[in-house]
Amino acid sequence: MYKVFVNDKPLFLTNKIQKETDFKLFLLDSVDIDKIIIKYFQNKIDKAILYHPDEKEILKKIKEKIPVQKAGGGVVYNNEGKILFILRNGKWDLPKGGTEKNENMESTAMREVEEETGVNKLKINRKLPKTYHIFKRNGKYRLKITTWFEMSTNFEGELNGQVEEGIEQVVWMDKKQIKQAMENSYENIKLLIHEAGILP
């Protein structure tokens, strides 16, 4: 099962149907994905399920219906065990960005962290779960698939937010601060923080 966020609300892609549910159910093969997305943005749908019987085919099918943008990002720990966060467009987020031509995901994630925060000397420790969300650019809806990596650094220099990317602040946070920041963050970031074992 995949959990895609549309306007910060869940859209589940699954091969299982639950009988008792308040979710709207659509068949992935025949659905007009744009119509569903518009309903999410108009607050006419809060949660829905896109069903396809073959779990291995689900992502392939969704990619046929909506352009995909691949991105890489980092959950970066410093020597004190604090994690690097950015405040972008008034919400707490993690550094991430789109992949460039002939660039692998590890390189994308490390480059984006450095560009958005000024933090370097990065080392990748492990791959984390991917996140999925739908956004609108140039009048078209796109599915952003972000591959996340846990990283560590012994960087102790000045944090420097990338202004042209709308980054207002860059800070190192401990668990208590992260818990508070999650009250003003995106659902896919909350999910990642939970799945990465940072917060219960």
Which of 191, 181, 182 is closest to 9 using CA atoms? Answer: 191
Q: In the chain, which segments carry CATH 3.90.79.10?
A: 68-195
The 8-class DSSP code of residue 163 comes to G
pLDDT digits (tens, 9 = 90+) for 104-155: 999 999 999 999 999 999 999 999 999 999 999 899 999 999 999 999 999 9
pLDDT digits (tens, 9 = 90+) for 27-60: 999 999 999 999 999 999 999 999 999 999 999 9
Q: For the chain, what percent of residues have pLDDT higher than 70? A: 100
Residue 18 has pLDDT above 90, yes or no: no
pLDDT of amino acid 197: 94
Fold topology of 68-195:
Nucleoside Triphosphate Pyrophosphohydrolase (3.90.79)
Q: What span, in angstroms and rounded, lies between the C-alpha atoms of 183 and 118?
A: 25
Confidence bin at 183 (pLDDT 50/70/90): very high
State the distance between the two ends of the chain, measured CA to CA, in whole angstroms: 21
Burial class (CB in 10 A: 0-12, 13-18, 19+), 137: exposed
pLDDT of amino acid 151: 98
| Residue found under tokens 């999925």 | 132
What global pTM score does this model have? 0.93
